[in-house]
């Protein structure tokens, strides 16, 4: 088991703007998408409001006051039954802090949140070239053969 004294997991709330921006910076580096995550960030009021919404879940792993891991998820309330599903939208760990159990700890925390909310399942998609992510999700869940489609709006 990794030494969790070197990092802590934290749920973000409306006052955690600096940590939220740290999460965005981490995603920009980890996914090599600076324009997506840093090019047109929302203002503080927007982020604070989002962090206060029950349907958005933001978790970070912190080491030495820096964000070294992050998970962004959405709770999707279902209409066919009184239940919800959690969707992991983004999950990343800083390259220098990988293989320490941080991603697993973030998912374990999300599981606890899902359980407390009565969620039915957690789902995530992974791109085939991302072997480490696929290995992590294979260890924690059941693989489903699905297709993903992007449908333009407008």
Strands 56-63 and 66-77: antiparallel
| Residue 57 phi, psi (nearest 5) | -120, 125
The topology (CATH level 3) of 4-140 is Aminopeptidase (3.40.630)
The Cα–Cα gap between 85 and 113 comes to 11
pLDDT string in tens for the chain (154-residue length): 445 558 999 999 999 999 999 999 999 999 999 999 999 999 999 999 999 999 999 999 999 999 999 999 999 999 998 889 999 999 999 999 999 999 999 999 999 999 999 999 999 887 777 777 777 787 878 877 777 777 778 8
Q: What are the structural domain ranges in the chain?
A: 4-140
Q: What is the pTM of this model?
A: 0.87
Q: Cβ contacts of residue 135 below 8 Å, gap of 6+?
A: none
Contact 40, 61 (CB under 8 A): no
Contact 71, 30 (CB under 8 A): no
The Cα–Cα gap between 109 and 103 comes to 10
**Structure confidence at residue 1 (pLDDT):** 41
The Cα–Cα gap between 75 and 94 comes to 25
Q: How many helices (H) and strands (E) does the chain have?
A: 5, 5
């Amino acid at each position: 088991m990794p030494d969790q004294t070197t990092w802590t997991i934290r749920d973000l709330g409306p006052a955690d703007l600096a940590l939220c921006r740290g999460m965005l910076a981490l995603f920009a580096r980890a996914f090599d998408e600076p324009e997506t995550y840093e090019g047109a960030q929302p203002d503080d009021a927007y982020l604070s409001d989002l962090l206060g919404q029950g349907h958005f879940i933001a978790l970070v792993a912190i080491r030495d006051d820096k964000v070294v891991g992050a998970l962004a998820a959405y709770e999707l309330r279902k209409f066919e039954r009184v239940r919800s599903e959690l969707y992991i939208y983004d999950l990343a760990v800083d390259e220098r802090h990988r293989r320490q159990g941080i991603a697993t700890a973030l998912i374990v925390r999300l599981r606890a949140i899902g359980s407390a909310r009565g969620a039915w399942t957690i789902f995530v998609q992974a791109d085939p070239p991302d072997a480490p992510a696929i290995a992590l999700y294979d260890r924690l869940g059941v693989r489903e053969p699905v297709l993903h489609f992007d449908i333009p709006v407008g």
